[in-house]
């Protein structure tokens, strides 16, 4: 199903297999620096990029370099500024934006030109955008790719996939997890992937996501609430236009709260599934309408006072942006 997958090494979390991909890339290239774009788990190699993350050795912070999604020049600059130092380019193929034409192919060409390993983090995009993930949907194959989440339909399983010699380099990387061969999750993945291959799972997920997007935008227009669902249909994110005295996250927090008390659970991100049918979509859109009505009241009074009863949400993207600004400020 997955274009670049000739062999596989299993793990339990996306963080496991991403850390393995980075170790393999470093071993293969003899280099240490990693260029990244996106969110890639909790391991030290990645969290070293966040100055606000405690407990990270200072030496690791010099080995992780961010580049901007959709801006090929920002990655090219890293290769120029760090010649023959970058072991891998680790990235999500898409997040809230679809890649500009030629961007992903350009990333692969840059990685190959400079002798780096291209790693796609498909922990979220895997099996959602297409049966073979983002690499099938966009037609660009990485050297290594990481999968998890829906692969075993909620059971703990992750996978690093790559070329046929993957087993020998995994052994050399001393990759050993007690539960990597746990059979229940493997059986769940076998059943889940059979459905993904034989049924129109990706097409259905796209359809549900686009129906929700269209409904949200329609309800927002009717209620006078500027709300937007960003990202491709299989993984969308809510954004609210801020007002003086009423920021985007305050509105999002209120919206999430009002959805929750009406039986629709989300955190500002929507990840449709194959199980969601027409009745689910209609019920969800009805709840969204009621929740947006409450947001409209908050916008009228330019405050969530008397309306919000939960702690305000923090988006990882915003926390990460703050960390990047601190990083830049400290050189």
pLDDT tens digits for 162-210?
999 887 888 888 888 888 889 999 999 999 999 999 999 999 999 999 9
* Co-location of 275 and 296 in the same domain: yes
Order of strands across the sheet that contains 269-270: 227-230, 236-240, 269-270
* Co-location of 227 and 185 in the same domain: no
Which has the minimum average pLDDT: 32-36, 95-99, 189-193, 204-208? Answer: 95-99
Per residue in 115-162, pLDDT (tens digit) is: 999 999 999 999 999 999 999 999 999 999 999 999 999 999 999 999
Domain boundary among 171, 198, 225: 198
* Co-location of 178 and 242 in the same domain: no
The 3-state DSSP class for residue 119 equals strand
In percent, the amount of the chain with pLDDT more than 70 equals 95
* Co-location of 37 and 128 in the same domain: yes
Domain membership flag for residue 36: yes
* Co-location of 236 and 292 in the same domain: yes
**Residue 123 sits in a domain of what CATH number?**
3.40.640.10
In percent, the amount of the chain with pLDDT more than 90 equals 86
User: What pLDDT is attached to residue 21?
Assistant: 97
Domain boundary among 198, 233, 260: 198
- Answer yes or no: is pLDDT of 257 > 60: yes
* Co-location of 48 and 183 in the same domain: yes
Domain membership flag for residue 96: yes
User: What pLDDT is attached to residue 165?
Assistant: 85
**Residue 257 sits in a domain of what CATH number?**
3.90.1150.10
Rg of the chain in Å (alpha carbons): 21
User: What pLDDT is attached to residue 321?
Assistant: 57
* Co-location of 67 and 89 in the same domain: yes
* Co-location of 48 and 168 in the same domain: yes
Average pLDDT over residues 327-331: 54
Domain membership flag for residue 326: no
> How many structural domains compose the chain?
2
* Co-location of 239 and 281 in the same domain: yes
Domain membership flag for residue 330: no
Distance from C-alpha of 163 to C-alpha of 19, rounded to nearest angstrom: 17
Task: Write down the pTM of the prediction.
Answer: 0.91
List the one residue out of 148, 157, 75 whose CA is nearest residue 118.
Answer: 75
Range of the domain at 132: 7-198
Name the E strands within the chain.
Answer: 7-11, 33-37, 64-66, 86-91, 117-121, 144-147, 158-162, 227-230, 236-240, 269-270
Strands 7-11 and 158-162 come out as antiparallel
Domain membership flag for residue 2: no
Distance from C-alpha of 201 to C-alpha of 195, rounded to nearest angstrom: 8
User: What pLDDT is attached to residue 177?
Assistant: 85
Domain membership flag for residue 147: yes
Domain boundary among 172, 198, 224: 198
């Amino acid at each position: 199903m997955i274009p670049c997958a000739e062999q596989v090494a299993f793990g339990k979390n996306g963080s496991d297999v991403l850390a393995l991909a980075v170790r393999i890339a470093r071993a293969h290239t003899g280099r240490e620096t990693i260029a990244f774009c996106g969110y890639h788990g909790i391991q030290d190699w990645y969290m070293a990029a966040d100055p606000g993350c405690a407990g990270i050795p200072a030496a690791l912070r010099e080995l992780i370099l961010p580049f901007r999604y959709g801006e090929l020049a920002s990655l090219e600059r890293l290769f120029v500024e760090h010649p023959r130092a970058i072991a891998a380019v680790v990235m999500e193929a898409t997040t809230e934006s679809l890649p500009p034409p030629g961007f992903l192919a350009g990333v692969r060409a840059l990685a190959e030109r400079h002798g780096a390993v291209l790693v796609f983090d498909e922990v979220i995009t895997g099996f959602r955008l297409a049966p073979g993930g983002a690499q099938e949907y966009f037609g660009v194959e990485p050297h290594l790719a990481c999968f998890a989440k829906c692969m075993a339909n909620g059971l703990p399983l992750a996978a690093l996939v790559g070329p046929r010699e993957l087993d020998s380099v995994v052994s050399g990387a001393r990759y050993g997890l007690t539960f990597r061969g746990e059979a229940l999750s493997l059986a769940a993945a076998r059943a889940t992937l059979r459905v993904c291959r034989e049924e129109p799972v990706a097409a259905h997920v796209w359809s549900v996501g686009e129906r929700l997007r269209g409904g949200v935008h329609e309800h927002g227009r009717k209620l006078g609430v500027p709300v937007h669902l960003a990202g491709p249909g299989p993984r969308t994110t809510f954004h609210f236009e801020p007002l003086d005295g009423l920021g985007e996250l305050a509105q999002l927090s209120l919206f999430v709260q009002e959805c929750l008390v009406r039986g629709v659970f989300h955190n500002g991100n929507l990840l449709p599934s194959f199980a969601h049918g027409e009745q689910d979509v209609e019920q969800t859109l009805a709840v969204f309408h009621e929740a947006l009505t409450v947001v409209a009241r908050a916008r009228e009074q330019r405050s969530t006072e008397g309306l919000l009863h939960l702690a305000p949400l923090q988006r990882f993207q915003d926390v990460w942006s703050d960390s990047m600004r601190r990083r830049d400020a400290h050189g």
